[in-house]
Structure 1
Amino acid sequence: MNGLTLVGFAMVAFVAAYFLYGRWLVKTWGIDPKAKTPAVEFEDGGDFAPASRFTVFAHQFSSITGAGPVTGPIIAAMFGWAPAMLWLLVGGIFFGAVQDFTALYASVKNQGKSMGMLIEHYVGRTGRRLFLLFCWLFTLLVLAAFADILANTFNGFMKDGTENVPGAQAATISMLYIVVAMGFGFFISKVQPSGLVKFLVAVVLVVAMFAVGMQFPLYLDAHSWRYVTFAYCFIASVLPMWLLMEPRDYLSSFLLLGMVFGGVVGVLVANPVINMPAFVGFTVKGQSLFPILFITIACGAVSGFHSLVSSGTSSKAIANERDMLPVGYGAMLVESLLGVVALVIACAAASNGTLPSGTPFQIFAGAIGGFFQMFGLPAAVSACVITMCVSALAMTTIDSVARIGRMSLQELVAPSEGAEADSVAKILMDKYVSTAVTLILAYALCLAGYMNIWPLFGAANQLLSALVLISLALFLKSTGRKGWMLYVPMTFMFLVTMSALVMSVVGIAGKIGSGDFTLMVDGLQLVLAIALMTLAVLVAKTCGSELFAKNNQIAPELE
């Protein structure tokens, strides 16, 4: 088997899925191009800000494309390329893209409300509180994991004390991205340029930032970068979308889409031979294919976090309902394609059925950097570009998560409609206070390190997907729309993730008897795992009882 065949087949499958299955969903549920979207109706210059189709696509794609679509498929390749490839295709088309699009659709149809507020409307206050608490705890895990990834990526010093030039250069460019994005946001807001002018200005800015960043690398250690990262998260969480996040995601999309394009073209040109067997076994290195494969490959197939982006930020920027399909369904398929490229690259770099040494990002970065050099880019520039791409994967995710975490906490403590908030709720509903509380707790988790957080994050992420799919199925039923296409994904994901969390709890608990238990690391993970499982069961029970109730009364959408 060669890489060209796998990537080519995936591209055909994803394009066909978009035009056939995606459009069928639109036709089945219905859209109204003439309707006022929440972004238009409630435009406030802050959270609600209508934007062009590509701008919202860039925000969605940049936000959801974190480390997952690269790391997951490469790790899962230990089971063989066939199981990973099948899950990327089936999961991406029928699970992930459907979830992302449906979450966006439901939110746009209901005043841009988040998943938690939608649950309150269709289930009740208890369901909302339980779901939002789960979401908020989940955002703490995401913030902690990705902040640690960023800090180590930007770390200007290697373990032996030598300078990490590509990391320091990427750090400078990333800081420039923040400042330049704000200027770019003002430019778009005041001048309102055409799409072509906007594109050309963005290209010039990206090239200029790379030129400056490569000449003036910023050398700070990982500890310092953690402070900088959380400071940036605070700023991104409270500033208007149009001023920082949307223009930054637009600029970052050039890097991320360029990385996908470079990977696809590189595979098409090099046509590497796959050096991994199609199937290794159901149990590899003590890991069972079920449920580990479906937890390991998350963002490339289905990720609960995506639904928070769809309903939390993207739905508040959609200017026309016609944009929902490319933003919700299309962005996920592009991410799945990135997962396929990462899988092919790793399997091509394998030797005698064994993956190369190094982290998944090192394997991926080395291959993509080689492709860039094949296209004539100098080695030093290639190293800087790929390091910047890696950091962009994390940075464009973490700012969205900070905002979603802030909003989840605000909605969690907010009183029901018609009720008055108590004094504590009023304090926590302040966007500056809720942001600070969220980030302080996430920073405490971050100290445990990325590797200690990631397993729990992966399981919680997929469990969130199951809960979101159950909630969306209820939305479709309550509004008189067909929702059977969500039943298999929601059931499968719930069984997979609960199995993985039970295994995780048993594993952590086993450390107590062996004496390897660490209170601040294992203890915190154990408490969070049990809390997430408990909340998940309660949310599933609350929503599931409504979903399968014999009541066929149609609930109106929010007007």
Structure 2
Amino acid sequence: MFTFLGGIALLIIGYFTYGKFIEKMFGVKESRATPAYVNSDGVDYVPMSTSKNSLIQLLNIAGTGPIFGPIMGALYGPAAFIWIVVGCIFAGAVHDYLTGMISIRNRGAHLPELASKFLGKVMRHVVNAFAVLLLLLVGTVFVSTPASLLHVLMDGKIALGLIIGFIFLYYILATLLPVDKIIGRLYPYFGALLVISALGVGIGLIVTGAPIPELSFQNFHPDNAPIFPLIFFTITCGALSGFHATQTPIISRTTQNEKQGRKIFYGMMIAEGIIAMIWAAASMSLFDGYNGLNEVLAAGGPGAVVSEVSTTMLGAIGGTLAVLGVVVLPITSGDTAFRSARMIIAEYLNIAQKKFSSRLWIAVPLFVISLILTQIDFNILWRYFSWANQATAVIALFVGAMYLYIAKKNYWVSLIPGSFMLVMVITYILNAQIGFRLSMDVSWYGGVIGTAILLVLFFRAAKKARAKNLQLDEDISGWDKVA
């Protein structure tokens, strides 16, 4: 219990200390107009309040990742707590804040456009393909998981295919309509349900004195799977997730003032970390050890764990509400995944999105491909998603490091976590069954050497960019303070 409560306390302290440090180092400009006003189009660029933006951001980034990931990560024992806390404060929240703020400074640009500007034009094509693939995988995964949960919740009374159809219909509307019509109106209520359900489970753990294990580096995984690097690909959204880099530009286009950035981007990542801590703790404490948890996972997957934890902690009615809160998570990330994919493709092809027809012909192929992908085994999709997710996070952290290097600011806050995760990304793909299947020793050497080479290339490019005085921010001269 001390490790659990201490971890949550550290996350909150991290927001008020390290988060403040990152904000001050970046240097917000309250007088600078934001894209919500400069590029206002009534569709994607729409000014919204801080509270609304914060809840939308939380729901955008909090798919099933901060719940399903920590549930799976609980098999590794309390080491999961360490990664959630350290990863969230020093990597995930920094990643989200820098991505959001740099996007605001560049008319709400998405990651491929930012990668092109700061890492080279070739990276625009690479990251564009990578980001769209990731978003398609996310959208597809986040159709399957909520549909399965709802199917179980309703005792199979409604066919799974019909539930999937309804979710797809909602995704189509949320992707095509202006951001303030569905997302802006529904998300605050969804956000309240999410927060209440997570707090209910957390308070239940404390009140009942659940036997949450204390800090330990012992590997409790029944299959003795290696903690490193697997834990970094098991727990993603609750600690560090490249998917967030595809979501923050949605809110960078609706943020009224740069000063709101720390609460919206850094703060909501901390909130997601707290949610991840709660579900990891519940999974470690309520199933008579890790073998018991493994049995539940084998029988019904993470969804079965969610249902069991919710009912145990909150009773039948409260448990049902909690499960609905979990169902909301993937749905409210799946819709914005497709929306982000549409925006990224439109930005790549330079197609204005004010006309409905322009949005429609980009979105339809995305949904057709996603429908085809739903026929692929979920576990295979999830493995590829996990690796693509963290590879995208590395790219975003290197974009942040480049921006700060050129600005002559503390780029190490982004480069250190980016380099660490780059080692893990290379090592994982060299060793994994979905990769090159090399031995772990060879994979570690490959990860370290590959990262060292890429760091040399990074510093060479950074020095050239600084010497050329690369323009960091889009020119908005002539605009007065708006918000």
Taking structure 2 as the reference length, the TM-score comes to 0.87
User: In the TM superposition, what whole-angstrom CA distance separates every residue of 1:234-255 from its partner, at most 9, and x where no partner exists?
Assistant: 2111100010112221110011
Residue 410 of structure 1: CA displacement?
A: 2.0
Residue 151 of structure 1: CA displacement?
A: 2.2
Q: Distance in 2 between matches of 1:271 and 1:109?
A: 47
Match of 2:412 among 474, 481, 484: 484
Structure 2 portions without partners, runs of 5+: 439-450, 476-483
Runs of 4+ in 1 over 4 A off after TM superposition: 505-510, 536-545, 548-551
- Are 1:412 and 2:336 an aligned pair? no
Residue 369 of structure 1: CA displacement?
A: 2.9
Partner of 2:87 in structure 1?
A: 91
Q: Distance in 1 between matches of 2:220 and 2:306?
A: 25
Matched AA of 1:71: F
Matched AA of 1:129: H
Match of 1:453 among 368, 377, 381: 381
Counterparts in 2 of 1:386 and 1:551: CA distance versus 1, 3 Å: closer
Q: Distance in 1 between matches of 2:402 and 2:350?
A: 23
Match of 1:552 among 460, 467, 473: 467
Root mean square deviation, CA, Å: 2.8
Partner of 2:39 in structure 1?
A: 42
Partner of 1:147 in structure 2?
A: 143
Partner of 2:367 in structure 1?
A: 439
Residue 273 of structure 1: CA displacement?
A: 1.3
Match of 2:113 among 97, 117, 123: 117
Counterparts in 2 of 1:310 and 1:543: CA distance versus 1, 3 Å: farther
| Kept after mapping to 2: 8 A contact 1:55/1:246 | yes
Residue 412 of structure 1: CA displacement?
A: 3.0
Partner of 1:165 in structure 2?
A: 154
Partner of 1:291 in structure 2?
A: 229
- 2:323 is paired with a residue whose SS is helix
| Kept after mapping to 2: 8 A contact 1:480/1:554 | no
Partner of 2:399 in structure 1?
A: 471
Q: Distance in 2 between matches of 1:462 and 1:40?
A: 32
Counterparts in 2 of 1:369 and 1:508: CA distance versus 1, 3 Å: farther
Q: Distance in 2 between matches of 1:309 and 1:506?
A: 26
Partner of 2:331 in structure 1?
A: 395
Partner of 2:244 in structure 1?
A: 306
Partner of 1:221 in structure 2?
A: 159
Alignment of 1:15-414 (within 5 A): 15-81=12-78, 83-155=79-151, 164-165=153-154, 219-274=157-212, 278-281=216-219, 285-311=223-249, 313-356=250-293, 357-358=295-296, 359-373=301-315, 379=316, 381-414=317-350
Matched AA of 2:462: L
| Kept after mapping to 1: 8 A contact 2:58/2:269 | yes
Q: Distance in 1 between matches of 2:323 and 2:198?
A: 14
Matched AA of 2:189: L
Residue 114 of structure 1: CA displacement?
A: 1.2
Counterparts in 2 of 1:154 and 1:267: CA distance versus 1, 3 Å: closer
Q: Distance in 1 between matches of 2:101 and 2:281?
A: 33
- 1:354 is paired with a residue whose SS is helix
Matched AA of 2:398: I
User: In the TM superposition, what whole-angstrom CA distance separates every residue of 1:196-250 from its partner, at most 9, and x where no partner exists?
Assistant: xxxxxxxxxxxxxxxxxxxxxxx53112222222222121111000101122211
Residue 540 of structure 1: CA displacement?
A: 8.9
Residue 264 of structure 1: CA displacement?
A: 2.4
Residue 432 of structure 1: CA displacement?
A: 0.9
Counterparts in 2 of 1:450 and 1:352: CA distance versus 1, 3 Å: closer
Q: Distance in 2 between matches of 1:539 and 1:446?
A: 35
Residue 290 of structure 1: CA displacement?
A: 1.4
- 2:291 is paired with a residue whose SS is coil
User: In the TM superposition, what whole-angstrom CA distance separates every residue of 1:29-60 from its partner, at most 9, and x where no partner exists?
Assistant: 11122221111222221101111111000000
| Kept after mapping to 2: 8 A contact 1:127/1:542 | no
Give % identity: 23
Residue 336 of structure 1: CA displacement?
A: 0.6
Counterparts in 2 of 1:449 and 1:537: CA distance versus 1, 3 Å: farther
Counterparts in 2 of 1:112 and 1:507: CA distance versus 1, 3 Å: closer
Residue 506 of structure 1: CA displacement?
A: 5.7
| Kept after mapping to 2: 8 A contact 1:479/1:554 | no
Residue 362 of structure 1: CA displacement?
A: 2.3
| Kept after mapping to 2: 8 A contact 1:58/1:253 | yes
Residue 122 of structure 1: CA displacement?
A: 2.9
The farther-off stretch of 118-127 and 397-406 is 118-127
Counterparts in 2 of 1:456 and 1:324: CA distance versus 1, 3 Å: same
Residue 282 of structure 1: CA displacement?
A: 8.8
- 1:45 is paired with a residue whose SS is coil
Counterparts in 2 of 1:116 and 1:251: CA distance versus 1, 3 Å: same
Residue 499 of structure 1: CA displacement?
A: 2.0
User: In the TM superposition, what whole-angstrom CA distance separates every residue of 1:65-97 from its partner, at most 9, and x where no partner exists?
Assistant: 11111122221222221x111101100000000
Q: Distance in 2 between matches of 1:269 and 1:39?
A: 44
Q: Distance in 2 between matches of 1:78 and 1:245?
A: 35
User: In the TM superposition, what whole-angstrom CA distance separates every residue of 1:525-549 from its partner, at most 9, and x where no partner exists?
Assistant: xxxxxxxxxxx99999986752365
- 1:430 is paired with a residue whose SS is helix
Taking structure 1 as the reference length, the TM-score comes to 0.76
Counterparts in 2 of 1:384 and 1:502: CA distance versus 1, 3 Å: same
Structure 1 portions without partners, runs of 5+: 159-163, 168-218, 374-378, 416-420, 422-426, 511-535
Structure number with larger C-alpha Rg: 1
User: In the TM superposition, what whole-angstrom CA distance separates every residue of 1:154-207 from its partner, at most 9, and x where no partner exists?
Assistant: 32xx6xxxxx5377xxxxxxxxxxxxxxxxxxxxxxxxxxxxxxxxxxxxxxxx
| Kept after mapping to 2: 8 A contact 1:275/1:353 | no
Counterparts in 2 of 1:269 and 1:548: CA distance versus 1, 3 Å: farther
Counterparts in 2 of 1:150 and 1:260: CA distance versus 1, 3 Å: closer
